[in-house]
Each structure stands twice: as structure tokens, then as C-alpha cells.
Amino acid sequence: MDNINENKAKLYSGILLLLFMAVLSIFFSLNDYIDFFKHDSVITFSWKSAGAIWFSPVLIYISFILYRISLGKVKRLNSKIGNYVSYVSITGIILTLFVSFYVDDELKSEGYLICSKSSWMAPNKYVKDISLCH
């Protein structure tokens, strides 16, 4: 009996972790989009932040599946929802590429400068004045 409760506790912990990751990805992605639209003097933006919002439905769907498994209702899962989430993610990948190029081009045309990055994976930091880089 303790093993079953321990497995359910791990399952619920995984569900909460996935939901927390989804909320964080939405928050950070929207934060970068808001900075872009407000035209702040310092804007941090990358393809990862642009794409994070599109993969949060996948995390939410996986947590939903895990919740259904914990209830023992695996056979009643609807594959239409999974297909919809897949379409949203694939569309998100394509849109992320275009949005990333658009943001880069738009900010450069408005006179923003790109600070040097600490690594190749770091997001681009766009500034209006080079002194804001450090």
C-alpha cells in the first residue's frame, strides 16, 4: 500500500512540476514580448523565449495525461486534444522562426544595438545605447 501512495505522490509531484514549468514558460515568454512591444531601452529576446509560449500547451497536456493515469482513466483519453496540441506546437515552431527574424530586423531598423553575448546560447540583448550593455 505504501508503494502505491509513494507512486501517486511522485505522479502528482510530476504533474505540479510540469504545470509550474508551463506557467514559467508563459510568464517569461510574455515578459519578452511585452518588452518588445513597449520598446524599452533594454530588450532581451531570443528564439527560445519566442517559442516557449508555444510549448506550454504540450506541458499542460502531458500533466493532464498524468492526472488521468493517476485516476485510472487511461482508456478514455481523447486523441483529438493531442492532435490539436501537436498542431499548435508545430505551428508555433514555424511562427517562432518568423517572429525571431522579425524582432531582430525590427529592432535593428529602430537603431537598437546588440550587446556581446556570454555564450552562443544566451539570448540577444538589444539596447538603445551601448553603455547599457554592462
Instruction: Name which residue leads in pLDDT, 134 or 15.
Output: 15
Q: Is the pLDDT of residue 18 over 70?
A: yes
Instruction: Using the CB atoms, write b or e for 55-86: b if 16+ within 10 Å.
Output: bbbbbbbbbbbebeeeeeeeeeeeeeeeeebe
Could you tell me what percent of the chain has a pLDDT over 70?
95
* Model pTM score: 0.76
Weakest mean pLDDT among 46-55, 56-65, 97-106: 46-55
Say what the pLDDT of residue 89 is.
86
If you ran DSSP here, which 8-state letter would residue 62 be given?
H
**Domain coordinates of the chain in residue numbers?**
1-132
Say what the pLDDT of residue 1 is.
53
Q: Read off the pLDDT of each residue in 88-111 and give the average, rounded to a whole number.
A: 90
